[in-house]
A and B are shown apart, each in its own frame.
Chain A
Amino acid sequence: MSTNSVASRLQKARKGVGVAGPGPAARKPASRRKWRLSARAWTLIAFAVPSIVLLLLINLYPVIYAGIQSVRNGTLISAGSFVGFSNYRHILSDPTFWHSALFTVIFTVTGVFGSWLVGLGLAVLLRTRIPLAGLFKVLLLLPWIVPVVVSATSWNWLVATPQSPLPKLTHALGMGDVLFLANPTWAKITVCVFKVWISFPFMMMMMSSALASVDNTVYEAAKVDGASSWQAFSQITMPLISRSTYISWILMTIFCVNDFPTIFLLTGGGPVNSTTSLVVLAYRTVFQDFQTGPGVAIAFVMTLVLVVISVVLYRQIRKANVE
């Protein structure tokens, strides 16, 4: 079958569920009417239904519930009564909320770009022929695979006290006694580095598969044209993997903004709230202050912003694809 026919089929397929296949029904214009769905359409709907039920039950229902709780003064197991937007006013006028929002941005930006740079670098290195590359690929996934409960405990052991290995090292290097967790600035840095450490394997996998899809012959051509290695990378490779890069940034942004254990297990949000992100603030407000309304309101504001950003970016990608 020619590629043309596949392309035209796809073209048709884009137009509607009813014409997803080239069956007889699809050929009749009548079947394109909204209310008469073909057997194929019904099959596809049946394919999607289980997942939709799950999404409604496990994902959408809690969000709606949370939205309702955010305008009430309830507790963990009681509904409470309607209080309007006072929870939102309360949290938006709290400086802790804005500090947490700022840290969330810092954490996300460093998490996304830090892990992307490390991941991309490793993906490029591992693409070349080096001994034991297969082994390295598996070993480098470990930070992502190991449960965070375990790795946070281990990181704490590495940095917490002046007798821990890393502070001893910085001391020996003449950098003085670095308080990796107790100094507000260092605590921020440590948490961000921890996040990069956890996330780079994911980025490495994303970038590896993006690089694998790049046709090697383009480099041959570039070489003939006398391009330097950096030129080849920045002007050929990067544009070719730009869409994957863009998508990996979006995914990682979502992972970072929603990340709870990485921060909470390492610092608990301290010292003095310096590493409190919005998710951590929401958790502490609900589970440590027992203030369900404001806590859920924080999470809801955060979710709304995230969804708006996601949707905008999502449309951008799709638009870029259509063109």
Chain B
Amino acid sequence: MASQPTNAAITRRGFIGLTGGVAGAALLAACGSGGSGSNSNSLKFWNMPWGNTAFNPLDKKITLAYKPTGGMAKATYQEIQWANFTQTFSSAVASNTGPAVSSGGGTQAFQFESQGKIAYADNLLDSWKKNGIYDDFLPGLLDAMKVKKGYAAVPYNLDMRVLWYNKTLMQEAGAEVPTDWQSYMNACAALKKKGIYGYGTGAGAGAFTGGHILVSWMINNGGGLFDADQKPNCVTKENIEAINFVLELVKKKYVDPASPTYTSANVQSQWKAKKFGMGFDTGGLADNVGGAVGPDLLVGTPLTGPSGKKGMLYFPNNIMMYKNTPSQKDSEAFLTYYFKNMTPLWTKSTGIGLPPLKSITQTKEFQASANNVKIINEWQPIAHTWAAPGGEALFLNVTQVDGTPAMDTFTQSILGGHTDAKSALTTLQNTIKSKMTS
């Protein structure tokens, strides 16, 4: 019997394209076992394992501590595993046995919004304007949640991609911490003399970071994959320049030749083995690497591209409300409670991504991590979503690039150095287009 892999990252942000969801909904609704949120006086909150093993127990405690007033619904808590979570949500929502409030994949809210399953957050955000939560969000976050008819979700935690370097290795190699592409190239050259790779990355099974970083290079140079009409527009001057730069890094052997098939665990073990001196990874890299090397890893500053621009890809994970709820008021009351009381998730080192609220970034526990402060201060303001350069708001078709075979193939062929920028980008664009139309 077959088994299937499930590195959490595999399906982390992608979400199944339920483009014909109505028929499916009818199909599955027929089987609704009656356990829907609407006929009980409790509100179902489903959350993902966003951090280490400490995360969900603490999160559950916060959820169950919710004492609603005025006969409002209490909240129940369910942890949903990353493995096959797309099927978990799509079948539950379609059969009306799903949650009233949940987090999930980064594009999940937009999928369900397109099927009319999402309750917009506009009223909630209006009420948050009065109690200060609205103004507490970091700049630009809410924009990514806005669709034509309203806000599909509210930002919850941020998954960033940033430049990391090993300060000890950099010193030993006499390399300067880079500030632009040319100085990055120079630093790579210095590290290379010591047999250390300057562009640590991975694009193997379940490791989508490699592809994210390639798009980051494009965004850094003012490019990206989608235009203002949310159509793929990959073969641009900015993108070609960015990919050519990466190909040069590959050619000069600043990239580990085995990296096209590195899993996240392989990448971390290369950092641990002091084979990676610089690289781009999630905000939690230092903690994940840990051990003796972890404390040596520092976040660099955003690079300035040849076009004079800065930029990086990031993923605003979010919490959404569904139409299938005891009442919309209950959902909103619970979320207001949750956002007022979720601070411990970040101050008690649960391993969750970066917080969406300024007030949390100002706690002394958060400020104690210089890396996190640097990410929030320097990287968050320049970060863009998949929608770049056309816009910020996410939409359905980003599922055609995030963690898809087309993106894997693109990334592996670039990191393997077997192609040229223009033809690789053209192939990528054609593939995305063909998936969108079919």
Question: Within 8 Å by CB, do A and B touch in the complex?
Answer: yes
B269, A288: Cβ atoms closer than 8 Å: no
> Assuming the A-B contacts A261-B2, A272-B418, are A266 and B23 also in contact, with contact meaning beta carbons closer than 8 angstroms in the complex?
no
For residue B239, CB closer than 8 A to chain A, the reply is: no
Residues in A with CB closer than 8 Å to B27 are 77-79
CB atoms of B416 and A272 under 8 A apart? yes
Nearest-Cβ distance from residue B275 to partner chain A, whole angstroms: 7
Q: Is the CB of A272 within 8 A of B405?
A: no
A270 contacts B205, C-beta separation under 8 Å: yes
Interface flags, B16-28, vs A, CB<8A=1, else 0: 1111111111011
- A74, closest chain B residue (CB): B20
Interface stretch, picked from B87-95, B216-224, B286-294, B385-393, is B87-95
Chain A residues near B206: list those with CB within 8 A. Answer: 268
- A158 CB to nearest B CB, Å: 12
With CB as the reference atom, state the residue of chain B lying closest to A149: B3
Q: Which residues of A contact B152 (CB under 8 A)?
A: none
Chain B stretch 82-140: residues in CB contact (< 8 A) with chain A: 87, 90-91, 94
Distance of B278 from chain A, by nearest CB (Å): 17
Give the distance in Å from the alpha carbon of A269 to the alpha carbon of B412 in the complex.
Answer: 11
Kindly provide the distance from the CB of A184 to the nearest chain B CB, expressed in whole angstroms. 8
> Does A298 reach chain B (CB closer than 8 Å)?
no
The CA of A270 and the CA of B3, in the complex, are separated in Å by 18
A179 at the interface (CB under 8 A from B): yes
CA distance A152 to B205 in the complex (A): 12
Given contacts A266-B205, A271-B260, A284-B405, A290 and B21 within 8 Å (CB-CB): no
Indicate whether A200 reaches chain B with its CB closer than 8 angstroms. no
Interface residues of B in 27-67 (CB under 8 A from A): 27-28
- Our pick among B24, B412, B438 for the contact of A77 (Cβ within 8 Å) is B24
Q: Specify the chain A residue showing the minimal Cβ separation from B273.
A: A163
CA of A181 to CA of B416, assembled, Å: 12
Given contacts A181-B258, A267-B205, A273-B409, contact A75 B17 (CB under 8 A): yes
| B203 contacts the other chain (CB 8 A) | yes
Q: Which of B18, B399, B405 contacts A78 (CB 8 A)?
A: B18
Interface: A31 (CB within 8 A): no
- B241 at the binding interface (Cβ < 8 Å): no
- In the bound complex, residues from chain A placing their C-beta under 8 Å from that of B204 are 160, 181, 267-268, 270
Contact B260 A270 (CB under 8 A): yes
Q: Which B residues touch A166, using CB under 8 A?
A: none
Residues in A with CB closer than 8 Å to B22 are 78
Known: A181-B204, A264-B5, A288-B403. A80 touches B20 (CB 8 A): yes
Whether the Cβ atoms of A288 and B14 lie closer than 8 Å is yes
B261 touches A78 (CB 8 A): no
What's the minimum C-beta distance from A113 to chain B, rounded to whole angstroms? 23
Contacts of A271 on B, CB cut-off 8 Å? 203, 260-261, 412, 416
- In the assembled complex, A291 has its CB within 8 A of some CB on chain B: yes
Residues 416-435 (chain B) with a chain A CB within 8 angstroms: 416, 418, 435
B4 interface neighbour in A80, A179, A258, A261, Cβ under 8 Å: A261
Q: In the complex, how many residue pairs between chain A and chain B have their CB atoms under 8 Å apart?
A: 151
- The chain A residue sitting closest to B261, CB to CB, is A181
* Contact with A270, one of B403, B412, B418 (Cβ below 8 angstroms): B412
Cβ of A162 under 8 Å from chain B: yes
| Contact of A187 with B by CB under 8 A | yes
A76–B412 CB distance below 8 A: no
Q: Mark A72-107, 1 if CB is under 8 A from B, else 0.
A: 011111111000000000100000000000000000
Residue of A nearest to B18 (CB): A75
Contact of B5 among A74, A76, A261, A291 (CB under 8 A): A261
Q: Is the CB of B18 within 8 A of A147?
A: no
Q: A77-B94, A272-B409 given as contacts; is B273 within 8 A of A161 (CB)? A: yes
Q: Do the beta carbons of B258 and A268 come within 8 Å of each other? A: no
Q: A78-B21, A161-B262 are known contacts. Are A147 and B205 too (CB-CB below 8 A)?
A: no
B404 engages A288 (CB within 8 Å): yes
- A residues contacting the other copy or chain, number (CB 8 A): 47
Picked from B90, B400, B412, the residue with its CB within 8 Å of the CB of A272 is B412
Whether B435 pairs with A291 at a CB distance below 8 angstroms is yes
B266 at the interface (CB under 8 A from A): yes
| A182 at the B interface (CB under 8 A) | yes
Contacting residues of chain A (271-311) with chain B, CB-CB under 8 angstroms: 271-273, 283-285, 287-291, 294
Distance to closest chain A CB from B234 (angstroms): 17
CB distance from B194 to the nearest CB of A (A): 15
Once bound together, how far apart are the Cα atoms of A258 and B3, in whole Å?
12
Query: Would you call B273 and A160 a contact (CB within 8 A)?
Result: no
Once the chains are docked, how many angstroms separate the CA of A178 from the CA of B412?
Answer: 18
Give CA–CA (A294, B437) in the complex, Å.
Answer: 14
Contact A75 B19 (CB under 8 A): yes
Contact of B399 with A290 in the complex, beta carbons under 8 Å: yes
CB pair B16–A80 under 8 Å, yes or no, is no
- Measured CB to CB, the residues of A under 8 A from B are 73-80, 90, 147-149, 152, 156, 160-163, 177, 179, 181-182, 184, 187, 258-261, 264-273, 283-285, 287-291, 294
Q: A75-B21, A290-B399 are in contact. List 17 more A-B contacts (CB 8 A).
A: A74-B23, A75-B18, A77-B24, A78-B19, A156-B266, A160-B266, A161-B258, A162-B275, A163-B269, A259-B2, A265-B205, A268-B5, A271-B203, A271-B260, A272-B413, A272-B418, A273-B405
In the A-B complex, list the 10 residue pairs whose CB atoms are closest, starting with the nearest: A268-B205, A77-B24, A78-B20, A78-B24, A290-B17, A78-B23, A261-B3, A181-B261, A182-B258, A260-B2
